[in-house]
Structure 1
Amino acid sequence: MRRKILKKSAHQSCGQPCFHRPPGLPFVEARSAADSQACYRPHAHAEWSIGTVDAGHSRFSVAGAEYRLGPGDLVLLPPGLVHACNPEERAAWSYRMLYLDAAWMRDFLAGSPAAAALAEQPWRIVGDAVAYRHFGDTFAAVNETTSANHFADCLGQLLTALAGQPLKTPATASVPAGIAAVRDWLDAHCDETIPLAELAAIAGLSRYQLIRRFVRHTGMTPHAYQLDRRIQRARRLLAAGAPICDTALAVGFADQSHFHRSFRERVAATPGQYGRRR
């Protein structure tokens, strides 16, 4: 089956990311990049993420393993899962992403055929032409600013196709209570300065034990996790139109250059590029 790849839009220059947040679909954000060599640090999203490779190859790191993705491959990630997806060395790739609000997805999945499969194993890698076609239809529904019902129809078909594929990925291990408590505390207080000793006390571990176990179960250190949560919050503020300087201060960055660097490392775009509407 021949795959149809969406052409680069007039708003998207070579290698630069393009973001689209249609007013009629406030629970979804679309991202695309063509011929990009931008790289990400390990990071997570507050939303569900669905993405596909349109051209080139990338190295996808998640749950302590690395996978090589190529044209037509798709990934589905639940909120909070640490990962990184970067082009192969000295190469470029083209990709598209959809980010879906977690609360909206919870309601949308309730009672759906895909719900049970995704509850058993929410993250997965799929290489299937039918699923790729459904992704293209869903992505187009966002960028054409169609009705919410049409978007939901397309997304439902996509999720059913993704959930129906045989698993190629190991089951996700549960997180110990102490590590989960630290993670939840960082989620609630990401904009504050929190001593490592305080986090260790919450977990009932030494500082050294906390760092080792937190990395094992989340894929990043407590400090990196806190920075990642700050950037997630910054994305929401910028998407709502907040000024960059105000956003940096609101999420806990006193140094603007540190904010710009941390944002770009995790979003592969500058705050200005991300906040720009089209």
Structure 2
Amino acid sequence: MSRAFEFQFASSRHVPTLKVLRASIDDFRYDRHAHTEYAFGVTLSGRQDFFSAGAYHRNPPGSVIFFNPEQPHDGESGGEHRLDYVMTYIAPGALAPLFAEAAGDERAQRLISPRTLITDPFLRNAILALSRLVRSGIGSRIDQEHLLQQIATRMVQRAGRYQRTSPSVGRPDALLRRACDYIRAHLEEELSLERISAAAHLSRYHFLRLFRAQFGMTPHQYVISCRIDAARGALEAGATPGEAALRYGFADHSHFNRRFKRIHGVTPFHYQRCLTH
């Protein structure tokens, strides 16, 4: 009898911050969360159903899924068949020069894709090839960088939206960004809605309303997502699960385990073991 869900992570030996997830899901649902990285992948079989960018999506086999950094989403298996997919994660800083080069504009270092689901055989094949290299531990650094360049260039060709290095943003966006920056700067401390909304120079009422409308998740969900993300980085740097849980404000090890697994599909110990073998 097969397991209801299986998750296997692998990190690139050549490209810093590049990681790949191979997942097989039958009875599992991700909590709503967001990643600091770009996340792009391909559904291999089955169907992935998820909510993101204000809408529900159904991701069929062969379709590319693309999440911008800090784009909230959840996810589960849809339909009657088991869901199998791969996802690739990489820090914005690693893709920034590739986007700029492809766009011919050194300021165009952050691409914001307006589409979450993309039908593009070239892009799909490049993502699958990159994931195979990372998961198999084969190929050289230039092989992986070449595929990343292909992916970045294709996204540019699909007329993505760019955030310039000195963006001009509206006041609500700037205030909410200030709140997000405050949260990330104080993850190891006690956080409250009062402190976060004060950092954004907004009343609690307006802060809650604007934050939910802008990010599609509550401030509490965002804080948990950020703390899990920071704890994941600590695990990758060698911290024990217990140390990471204590550092980022989780009540105990079991609480950390539950939260981590509902976002990444595996326990902190399993995640760390995947990336060190």
Aligned to 2:69: 79
Unaligned runs of 5+ in 1: 1-11, 168-172
Aligned to 2:144: 151
Change (3 A) 1:106 1:166: closer
- Percent identity, aligned pairs only, is 28
Aligned to 2:8: 18
Deviates more, 1:176-185 or 1:110-119: 110-119
> TM-score, normalised to structure 1's length?
0.84
Question: How far apart in 2 are the matches of 1:230 and 1:14?
Answer: 27
Aligned to 1:127: 119
CA contact (8 A) 2:9 2:22 kept: yes
Aligned to 1:28: 18
Aligned to 2:128: 136
Question: How far apart in 1 are the matches of 2:10 and 2:4?
Answer: 17
Partner of 1:96, secondary structure, is strand
The aligned amino acid for 1:262 is R
Aligned to 1:243: 240
Correspondence 1:160 to 2:144: no
1:222 pairs with one of 219, 232, 254: 219
Question: How far apart in 2 are the matches of 1:158 and 1:13?
Answer: 33
Question: How far apart in 2 are the matches of 1:51 and 1:228?
Answer: 20
| Distance apart, 1:241 and its partner CA | 2.8
| Distance apart, 1:47 and its partner CA | 1.1
Partner of 1:214, secondary structure, is helix
- How is 1:260-275 mapped onto 2 (pairs within 5 angstroms)? 260-275=257-272
| Distance apart, 1:111 and its partner CA | 1.2
| Distance apart, 1:22 and its partner CA | 3.2
Unaligned runs of 5+ in 2: 161-168
1:52-107 Cα distance to aligned partner (Å, 9 max, x none) = 10000111311111111100111222211111222126753001011112221213
| Distance apart, 1:191 and its partner CA | 2.1
| Runs (4+) off by over 6 Å | none
Aligned residues: 262
Partner of 1:119, secondary structure, is strand
Deviates more, 1:201-210 or 1:97-106: 201-210
Partner of 1:51, secondary structure, is strand
The aligned amino acid for 1:261 is R
The aligned amino acid for 1:147 is S
Question: How far apart in 2 are the matches of 1:106 and 1:185?
Answer: 24
Structure ranking higher in strand proportion:
2
